[in-house]
Amino acid sequence: MVQNETIGFVGLGVNAWLVWMLPFIGAALIPALKNKSERIKSYVAVGFSILSALFALSILPLGLAGKEIHSQIPWFSALNLNAGVLADPLGIVMSNLVAWISVSILVYSISYMHGEKSIIRYWFFMLFFIGSMQLIVLSDNLLMVFFGWEGVGLASYALIGFWYSDKKKDYVGKEGNVAWGIPMWTSPTHAGIKAFLFNRVGDIMMLTGMFLIFAYAGTFGFKELLSDHTWAQEMMKQNLLIPAAVLLFGGAIGKSAQFPLNEWLVDAMTGPSSVSALIHAATMVKAGVFLVARIGPLFFALAVFNISQFFEIVAWVGGITAFLLATQALVNPEIKKVLAYSTGSQIGYMMMALGIAGLSTHFVDGYTAGFFHMISHALFKASLFMAAGAILHNVGSRFMYDMGGLRKNMKKTYLFMFLSSLSLAAAPLITSGFWSKDAIFASLLESNYSLSPYLFALAVIVAVLTAFYTFRMVGLTFFGKPSKNIVELEAKGHRVHEVDRIMWMPFAILAVASIAIGLVGFAFEGQIHNLFAYYLSNTFGIVDGKIMSSSPTLSKSTSQSSNINNNGISEGKNTGFLNLNPIAALSSVGAFGIGGYLGYLFYIQRKVDPNIIQENAVSRALWKFLYNRWYLNSFWYWIGAVIQLALYRKIYKYFEGVIVSGVNPAFRYSMIFMSKVVKVSQTGSIQTYLFVFSAGIIVIAMLLLM
């Protein structure tokens, strides 16, 4: 693709820069409002998020038309590195998704965080979070992406541990539950540190992969890496190309909480519900998916170097994570934890789709399916978390067995949470979740990957589990009789009631949007497919799973099919429309039917008592295994903390206690002895000194004469 590079802030490039800069500016200004009212602080914070979203919206028509903005300014001249924004269709659509989901969450926060003492700290890190994510999305090089990457990591650490006083009410997990000697309940500060450390593992991998590529390519820029494949040829000769790609994916595994670095995500529920919504719907965990979406086509364009192993790893990590976390959501009693497990599982679907794209003869199908599911998930998951926050706001408990019967007291929350839950469960034809999940199923079925039937079976099983735990969550929360907790609250004069409009309106809009997209889901999916088909064709030369030219410079092979206007923005054109795969569609409907019916039977209609699981030793052991998170959390604590601390204690005991404590006295006494020897030799007699001096000269002379 012929491109136009501008130096500085020129034309629409200004808008793209301001999308990520405005939230940072807002974060910097918030502390200056320390002496202002809470309302002013809140309005300023929300105002900056809206401004950023409006600038993102201003470039959306360009993205939907298949156009591109690439603006650069000098950065590290010694290394010939520029800072730049790359607002292509992928970045523009993602930027708008992040921006408008974030606006809805910040509006919700005005009421949800009302009266919070540390409101300045809250608004600072929320805006910082949004700015960092937008920096990831719009950066034109890996180094700038990494700055945003670390920014979201810092913000997540601060916001997960926001209530750092560690009051019992802010913990997650059931107090007293221990697995392999490891407590399974977590305080906010502990959860924040845990998220920070798990992400550092992925970040180190990503940084290593980045600098491996830089060592051979001499650049971090996406455009530069694509324009000349010489670096890839050299890395392939050294068998380093695939390791570098996998290391980059390691960063995505950490940020998106994929197996085996998934254990931080569930404990991150210690933060405010608005923070959980932002992390799960618009920032942080979506960063890993976006990174794979950004680099996936680049590595696929290097298909001549046989890099399919990278895509296999992406697909299987996604598949394993989707199944692993869905099974844990089946038994967990905490509403936010169920939603957290769901997020990791659904992101596994996205990774599975992006991975299978690189193994398929139809790259665009898997790529579109993964991105479509990310859009769908962002809408309904933000809505679900905000609705869950409204419930917690009322009942004062995170456990679903402390809820029950809430549909009578919180009718709006029930309605909109039910609509969002239908999207999560992939209710056929009317929800965005159905169409995006169906697209993933179809991409798995239509790929030429030899192991795709196993991935497809895994995806269908996860869909059944998802429908079941979704109806379980809805049933335990809104159906049945009011719990003992609610009865006691009302006896004390606290009547459970609907939250105010500024809280329910944001999640209502997102829930309705999820259903609205579902009603036109087939056409919506087709439009995304057309957009990305053109983007992949003209940027990477990828058409029907093949590279248009083996030339190292794809811009030469695709320039004839591109139209460039005077502003350097490339024009686009539509491709064909998607066909519905009947097996995928029937599998989607069947999965929803089986899982949804069982969930309805157990937890809404309540014809079968779920406690029957306790009557059988095998089912009871399985329940405990899933409830204790497959013991993976305990495993990581033993590897990362218990064993290491035991080793350090041994080192302290023997090294400090024996060696160091032994060396110090020995050194002291040897110095004392030597000082005594020297003291004896110092007689104070000049004749003695002259005698020793003369004897020394005679000895040296004899040695020289020998």
Mean pLDDT of 133-142: 97
pLDDT band at 77 (very low <50, low <70, confident <90, very high): confident
Q: Give the pTM.
A: 0.90
pLDDT band at 663 (very low <50, low <70, confident <90, very high): low
- Per-residue confidence (pLDDT) for residue 701, from 0 to 100: 86
Mean pLDDT of 134-139: 98
Q: Of the ranges 167-181, 433-447, 644-658, 667-681, which one carries the lowest mean pLDDT score? A: 667-681
Cβ-contact 16, 69 below 8 angstroms: yes
- Per-residue confidence (pLDDT) for residue 549, from 0 to 100: 53
CA-nearest of 252, 533, 204 to 372 is: 533
Query: Which pair of structure tokens corresponds to residue 323?
Result: 């199944």
Residue 567 has pLDDT above 50, yes or no: no
Residue 421 has pLDDT above 80, yes or no: yes
The gap between the terminal CA atoms of the chain, to the nearest Å, is 85
Query: Which pair of structure tokens corresponds to residue 228?
Result: 């000349």
What is each CA distance from 438 to 280, 289, 349, 427, 584, in whole angstroms?
A: 22, 19, 11, 11, 6
- Torsion sign (Cα): 197, 203, 208, 209: positive
Beta bridge partners of 182: 179
- Per-residue confidence (pLDDT) for residue 658, from 0 to 100: 66
Q: Would you list the DSSP string of 450-478?
A: TTHHHHHHHHHHHHHHHHHHHHHHHHHHH
User: Which of the pair, 697 or 288, is modelled with greater confidence?
Assistant: 288
Mean pLDDT of 386-401: 94
pLDDT band at 570 (very low <50, low <70, confident <90, very high): very low
Q: Would you list the DSSP string of 277-338?
A: HHHHHTSTHHHHHHHHHHHHHHHHTTGGG--HHHHHHHHHHHHHHHHHHHHHHTT--BHHHH
Listed ranges 4-8, 257-261, 495-499; the one with the highest mean pLDDT: 257-261
Mean pLDDT of 236-265: 95
Cα 209 from Cα 551, distance rounded (Å) = 25
Spatial neighbors of 678 by CB under 8 A, at least 6 apart, are: none
> Tens of pLDDT along 26-38?
999 999 999 999 9
Residue 657 has pLDDT above 80, yes or no: no
pLDDT band at 545 (very low <50, low <70, confident <90, very high): low
The stretches of 330-425 forming alpha helices (DSSP H) are: 335-357, 363-395, 411-425
Cα 106 from Cα 109, distance rounded (Å) = 5
Q: Of the ranges 123-137, 486-500, 642-656, which one carries the lowest mean pLDDT score? A: 642-656
> Tens of pLDDT along 574-614?
333 446 789 999 999 999 999 999 999 999 999 888 888 87
SS (H, E, C) 205-225: HHHHHHHHHHHHHCCCEHHHH
CA-nearest of 160, 355, 359 to 266 is: 160
Cβ burial of 606 (10 Å; 0-12, 13-18, 19+) is middle
What is each CA distance from 447 to 363, 365, 439, in whole angstroms?
A: 9, 9, 12
User: Domain segments of the chain: what residues?
Assistant: 6-397+407-593, 631-705
- Per-residue confidence (pLDDT) for residue 559, from 0 to 100: 34
Tell me phi and psi for residue 674, to 5 degrees: -65, -35
Tell me phi and psi for residue 482, to 5 degrees: -60, 140
- Torsion sign (Cα): 86, 91, 93, 96: negative
The percentage of the chain sitting over the pLDDT mark of 90, rounded to a whole number, equals 75
- Per-residue confidence (pLDDT) for residue 678, from 0 to 100: 72
Query: Which pair of structure tokens corresponds to residue 30?
Result: 């918030």
Residue 563 has pLDDT above 60, yes or no: no
Cα 120 from Cα 42, distance rounded (Å) = 9
What is the DSSP-derived secondary structure letter of residue 257?
T
User: Which of the pair, 435 or 672, is modelled with greater confidence?
Assistant: 435
What is the DSSP-derived secondary structure letter of residue 184?
-
> Tens of pLDDT along 238-251?
999 999 999 999 99
Mean pLDDT of 647-654: 82
The percentage of the chain sitting over the pLDDT mark of 70, rounded to a whole number, equals 91
- Torsion sign (Cα): 690, 692, 695, 700: negative
Query: Which pair of structure tokens corresponds to residue 155?
Result: 């913000």
What is each CA distance from 104 to 386, 518, 618, in whole angstroms?
A: 10, 20, 45
What is each CA distance from 547 to 304, 358, 530, 584, 588, in whole angstroms?
A: 9, 12, 18, 27, 32
Cβ-contact 436, 376 below 8 angstroms: yes
Please report how many Cα atoms fall inside a 13 Å half-sphere around the Cα of residue 449, on the Cβ side: 29
Cβ burial of 692 (10 Å; 0-12, 13-18, 19+) is exposed
Residue 572 has pLDDT above 50, yes or no: no
Mean pLDDT across the chain: 90
Residue 255 has pLDDT above 50, yes or no: yes
Cα 380 from Cα 382, distance rounded (Å) = 6
CB atoms within 10 A of CB 19: 31
CA 426-429-435 angle, 5° bins: 60
